[in-house]
């Protein structure tokens, strides 16, 4: 009698396990698609941030170049002023 109860319990547990696994595999593609769309959105955000960073770096490079030119012109002007003062 005890063996029969254990066999029935094992059969029920096996059936429930198969039913539970079947439901999980049906839900898995939807979860996978949702995760893929989230990864795509994150990738787009990273690309946008990288693009903005590249633009900012380019603008900083231009500003540094302009500052270098201004410093060079100031050095030339100071040199000319010093030469004029010594004459």
Tens-digit pLDDT profile for residues 40-61: 777 788 888 888 888 888 889 9
Give pLDDT tens digits for 14-37.
Answer: 777 776 665 555 566 666 777 777
Q: How confident is the model at residue 68 (pLDDT cuts 50, 70, 90)?
A: very high
SS3 category, 7? helix
Task: Note the helical H segments in the chain.
Answer: 2-86
Query: 24-32 contacts: CB < 8 A, separation 24 or more?
Result: none
Question: Distance between CA 85 and CA 81 in Å, rounded?
Answer: 6
Confidence (pTM): 0.48
Distance between CA 44 and CA 33 in Å, rounded?
17
Whole-angstrom Cα distance, residue 31 to residue 53?
Answer: 33
Residue 72, pLDDT above cutoff 80: yes
């Amino acid at each position: 009698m005890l063996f029969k109860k254990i066999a029935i319990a094992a059969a029920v547990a096996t059936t429930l396990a198969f039913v539970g696994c079947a439901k999980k595999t049906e839900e898995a593609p939807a979860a996978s698609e949702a995760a893929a769309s989230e990864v795509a959105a994150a990738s787009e955000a990273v690309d946008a941030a990288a693009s903005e960073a590249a633009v900012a770096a380019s603008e900083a490079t231009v500003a540094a170049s302009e500052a270098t030119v201004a410093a060079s012109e100031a050095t030339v002007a100071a040199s000319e002023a010093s030469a004029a003062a010594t004459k």
